[in-house]
Amino acid sequence: MAEPYSVRVTVRGYETDTQGHLNQAVYLNYAEHARWSLLQAAGISQRGLTGQGVGPVALETTISYRRELVAGDEVDVTCAFEWRGGKTFRIHQQVVKTDGTLAAEISAVCGLLDLKARKLVADPAAAFKELTTDPALFGL
C-alpha cells in the first residue's frame, strides 16, 4: 500500500491558545488544508467540482489529540480515503511532527453532495474516479 498523501504545515504563533499550544479548532483547518491539497494534486479544483454540480461535505469529524503542538513546530498532515460502498466514505488523517511524534488523529465521514438535488451522490468513488487525473491519490 502506498504512503498516504501528506502536506507540511508550520504551526504559527497566532494559531496557539493561552497555554501556548495549537488551538483545537486549528487542527480542523490543517485537516481541511490537506484534503484540498490532495484534491488539487489529483487535478480537481473547487471550480471544477461546482462546474460538475457537486461538492464534498463533512458529515462527522472526530479528533484524538495525542501530543501538544507549539509555535514553530513543523508537522506533516496525511490524508487517506477509505471507500466502503454507499453514499459515504471516510478520510483518515494524522498530524505528525517531523521527528515522527503523532500529535493528532482525525477521522471524518464525508460525502459528495449533488448541489442541485441537495442529496448525496449515490457512488462518490465513481464520481471521484471520473473527476480526477490520479485515482491512486484517492486509493481508487
Examine the pLDDT at 2 and tell me if it is beyond 80.
no
* Range 26-46 average pLDDT: 97
Helices (H), 84-134: 124-131
User: Rounded to two decimals, what is the model's pTM?
Assistant: 0.94
The Cα–Cα gap between 89 and 94 comes to 17
Report percent pLDDT > 90 for the chain. 98
For residue 1, what pLDDT is reported? 52
pLDDT tens for 60-118 read: 999 999 999 999 999 999 999 999 999 999 999 999 999 999 999 999 999 999 999 99
What's the CA gap between 125 and 140, in Å, rounded?
7
Phi, psi of 107 (to 5 degrees): -130, 130
Supply the pLDDT for residue 3: 84
pLDDT score, position 8: 98
Alpha helices in 8-120 (DSSP H): 24-41, 46-51
